[in-house]
Amino acid sequence: MALKLTLAGRTHLVEIVRRRPRLVLSIDGREHEIAAAGEGGDGRNSLEIGGDSLHFVRAQVGDSQLVHLKGRGYEVGWVDPQAEIADAGADHDEVKSPMPGRVVSVSRIAGDRVLRGETVATIESMKLQMSLPAPRDGRIAAILRAEGDAVEKDEAVARLEALSPGS
């Protein structure tokens, strides 16, 4: 599972590639071998990354970490996936195309109930077909593109609405 962290206002994707014989992390797609991790608590710490020793001071402040490294201070925090979903708001009300292409099929009609992950439509881009899943449970409020229509990257193909109680 990938984790997200923010460092100096930028978000980075961090994944554990392997744990043994040494920890390897992928950070924004680049792999880094972590050889000697320090204690990990507040205070002076060190890491060995790719053969280079890195010395820093760390302190926990609320949900963030303050890190002092090479004469500069950084605030580091993990991105809470649940908060990220809540912040996305309307993004989870739309089924969007992740790339430009053409709609090859529409699997649902307005009024249909859908569960998160169920295919709503299929697009084709450069001879590659991709299913567009519902981002959450709900009801199809509107189908915005028909078979044969061209779509741009991040363009909505369908819109969802919340299920009313008892439906």
What are the structural domains of the chain? 3-79 (3.30.700.30), 90-161 (2.40.50.100)
Collapsing DSSP to helix, strand or coil, 165 comes out as coil
Strand boundaries in the chain, DSSP class E: 3-7, 10-18, 23-27, 30-34, 43-49, 52-61, 64-69, 72-78, 94-96, 101-106, 113-114, 119-125, 128-133, 138-143, 150-151, 156-161
Residue-level pLDDT, tens digit, the chain, 167 residues: 567 877 767 788 888 888 888 888 888 889 988 876 666 678 888 888 878 888 888 888 777 788 888 888 888 877 655 555 455 544 578 999 988 999 999 999 999 999 988 999 999 988 888 889 898 899 999 999 999 999 998 899 999 998 877 66
- State the DSSP H helix or E strand holding residue 87, giving kind and residue range, or none if neither: helix 81-88
pTM > 0.75: yes or no: no
